[in-house]
Structure 1
Amino acid sequence: MRSEVRGGWTVLAVSGELDADTVPVLSDLLEESSSDRVVVDLSGVPFMDTTGLSLMLDWHRRLEGVGGEFRMACLQASVHKLFRLTELTEVMHIHDSVDSATVGR
């Protein structure tokens, strides 16, 4: 996982499976970012289980609650399917690219 700031957004690039074993690492990075504008680049994530889904939803709610924004970008088909099946594509901000996710407020 790596982090960079792009246009006022903290972009966290995640790679590998996002599951019960790896979610704590991403959770710690999100906590450390102390940003209210976060994009999680999931292009390197071929699999996400419900713990990953819960983390994404928690941070979405957390940042929206303080007037911030939480966006996800570059979801692979299997991960995007998880969000569609849970109908979270209607709630969360999902973008095709990091560039489109980091535009606007």
Structure 2
Amino acid sequence: MDLQVRSEVRGGWTVVAVTGELDADTVPVLSDHLEETPGQRVVVDLAGVPFMDTTGLSLMLDWHRRLDTAGGQFRMASLQPAVQKLFRLTELAEFMHIHDSVDEATAN
């Protein structure tokens, strides 16, 4: 399955919607898209991502650190159960900003 990525601006946040499996083969597509994403407030909408491997996890962690270091904000929204489990098992859910919906993530 090819990875599809699109962005839109909502209330000062750049929302990056991702559809497809996020793995070693597709992470470069999202990585390139994030590099071109304007702004310091980014929400990655993962509602369309049924599977993510550690390569995708690493990309999310990298962007969280990059924006945090730069004074920005990085959030994720609408994680599917398998993806949510990956964040729980690696204990990254403890400090990364994960929201139930894009509306919730962009609320403040």
Distance 2:75 2:81 in 1: 17
Cα offset, 1:48, TM superposition: 0.1
Residue equivalent to 1:97: 101
Q: Is the 8 A contact 2:14 2:42 kept in 1?
A: yes
The 3-state SS of whatever aligns with 2:79 is coil
Structure-1 separation of matches of 2:29 and 2:12: 23
**Structure 1 residue 74 corresponds to structure 2 residue 78:** yes
Equivalence for 1:61:
65
| Separation in structure 1 between the aligned mates of residue 106 and residue 39 of structure 2, nearest angstrom | 13
Counterpart check, 1:3 vs 2:7: yes
Equivalent of 1:83, from 59, 65, 87?
Answer: 87
Q: How far apart, CA to CA, are the structure 1 residues paired with 2:15 and 2:62? A: 17
> 1:48 is aligned with what amino acid?
M
Return 5+ residue gaps in structure 2 as ranges: none
Percent identical residues: 79
Residue in structure 2 matched with residue 47 of structure 1 by the alignment: 51
Superposed displacement of residue 35, structure 1 = 1.6
Distance 2:12 2:80 in 1: 25
Aligned residues: 104
Tell me how far 1:34 sits from its aligned partner: 2.8
1:40 is displaced (CA, Å) by 0.2
Give 4+ residue runs of structure 1 displaced > 6 Å after superposition: none
| Structure 2 CA distance for aligned equivalents of residues 43 and 26 of structure 1 | 15
Query: For 2:38 and 2:10, how far apart are their aligned partners in 1?
Result: 15
Structure 1: stretches of 5+ with no match in the other structure: none
TM-score (norm 2): 0.95
Q: Which moved more, 1:63-72 or 1:26-35?
A: 26-35
Local SS of the residue matching 2:82: helix
